[in-house]
A and B are shown apart, each in its own frame.
Chain A
């Protein structure tokens, strides 16, 4: 069980096959006060990957030291994350709690898009060439993976930066791919890396850049 005071929590299973599945959440109140009128929700961080059915569960009380289990039905399409929220009352005052993201692996993808990082100092200046790096890790032998890089500019344009095949990737093998971008607008750029296995998007990472003059 993981803790974020005053709640200890655990979700299981963390690996499911694609389809409609059940996830079970264990919650334990580690605090010194009872929690009441709790709305318990599991919230997807990408509903295309993982969609949680229903509007949550209700717990009238979660007493000090008490543990409860709640089940959520989900439509699992690809690996994704969700987090738990509790909204209720503590000592008759409104109270909110949330967990960090909990990753749920769905099916057996052939690779994982591990990370996307801009290799630059914070707040880079306009006109500077910025190299960005994505890391892909093979989970099973594959040949058909495609990695795409896109940039969302402060003015809302969405530009393709690069698209490349990954070639043969063995299980456990890590490949780094880089691309360059020269931002020309002040403001926040959102960089995207997408990993595709055929027409199925199996990975998506974003990185933010705040450009200054």
Chain B
């Protein structure tokens, strides 16, 4: 259990009122936020407030801030982009997953999916799994690989292939595991059109 502190400053010309301030997790398994947020009665122009949030930090994850309240008597909503919150010292980071295809590929065309790993400290024996979620809801394994030994700062790329047979949205997943601990997860989406 840890505390994260949020500093907010109103750089607009109008006062913001009755603000519900929330820190939102984009993966509650990695980072769970306790409580239902904070209340700020008013945040005037150039005024700054500092709000603490208690979190359960299990693994590196992403969070963002949302404000819901009023500006000039009208409902007001604002949200930050997502922010990476690093938890502990992971061995490696799953940096990206991309389906290497043109936009809207036709059904029946083989698509290579490439994951990029970055070693953070020397590691061996990580497991990288590729999966595809089909438009009809099936969850198919594309491949599982043992990654090579990685040193800090080393980049490695691994790929799997999928040949979509259905029209619609495919979601490709890459999961990086250290033992049974999932230390990375990325998705990419591919909209497959009729051949």
Which residues from chain A sit less than 8 Å from chain B, CB to CB? 2-4, 41, 43-48, 51-52, 55, 75, 82-83, 85, 87, 94-96, 98-101, 115, 117-123, 133, 150, 152, 158, 188, 190, 192, 196, 198-201, 208, 210
Query: Which one of B4-12, B72-80, B144-152 contacts A?
Result: B72-80
Check B25–A94 contact: CB distance below 8 A. no
- Residues of B162-180 contacting chain A, CB below 8 A: 169, 171, 173, 175, 177, 179-180
Interchain residue pairs with CB less than 8 A apart (14):
A48-B22, A87-B180, A94-B180, A117-B104, A119-B103, A120-B103, A122-B99, A122-B100, A188-B95, A188-B96, A190-B82, A192-B81, A199-B68, A199-B77
Interface of B is mostly: strand
Check B76–A199 contact: CB distance below 8 A. yes
Check B81–A158 contact: CB distance below 8 A. yes
Taking CB atoms, residues of chain B closer than 8 Å to A123 are 98
Check B28–A52 contact: CB distance below 8 A. yes
Q: B175: nearest residue on chain A (CB-CB)?
A: A98
B130 contacts chain A at the CB level, 8 A cutoff = no
Tell me how far the C-beta of A88 lies from the nearest C-beta in chain B, rounded to whole angstroms: 10
| Interface residues contributed by chain B, number (CB under 8 Å) | 49
Check B182–A98 contact: CB distance below 8 A. yes
Residue of A99, A123, A208 most packed against chain B (CB within 10 A): A208
In the complex, what distance in Å separates the CA atom of A47 from the CA atom of B25?
Answer: 5
Check B98–A210 contact: CB distance below 8 A. yes
In the complex, what distance in Å separates the CA atom of A100 from the CA atom of B139?
Answer: 8
Check B98–A208 contact: CB distance below 8 A. yes
B3 contacts chain A at the CB level, 8 A cutoff = no
Taking CB atoms, residues of chain B closer than 8 Å to A3 are 139
Tell me how far the C-beta of B127 lies from the nearest C-beta in chain A, rounded to whole angstroms: 11
Check A122–B179 contact: CB distance below 8 A. no
Q: B76: nearest residue on chain A (CB-CB)?
A: A199
Check B169–A115 contact: CB distance below 8 A. yes
In the complex, what distance in Å separates the CA atom of A40 from the CA atom of B36?
Answer: 22
Check A122–B29 contact: CB distance below 8 A. no
In the complex, what distance in Å separates the CA atom of A133 from the CA atom of B171?
Answer: 17
Taking CB atoms, residues of chain B closer than 8 Å to A120 are 103
Taking CB atoms, residues of chain A closer than 8 Å to B88 are none
Tell me how far the C-beta of A123 lies from the nearest C-beta in chain B, rounded to whole angstroms: 7
In the complex, what distance in Å separates the CA atom of A98 from the CA atom of B188?
Answer: 18
In the complex, what distance in Å separates the CA atom of A205 from the CA atom of B172?
Answer: 15
B101 contacts chain A at the CB level, 8 A cutoff = yes
In the complex, what distance in Å separates the CA atom of A201 from the CA atom of B189?
Answer: 22
Q: B171: nearest residue on chain A (CB-CB)?
A: A100
Q: Contact partner of A47 among B24, B131, B139, B181, CB < 8 A? A: B24
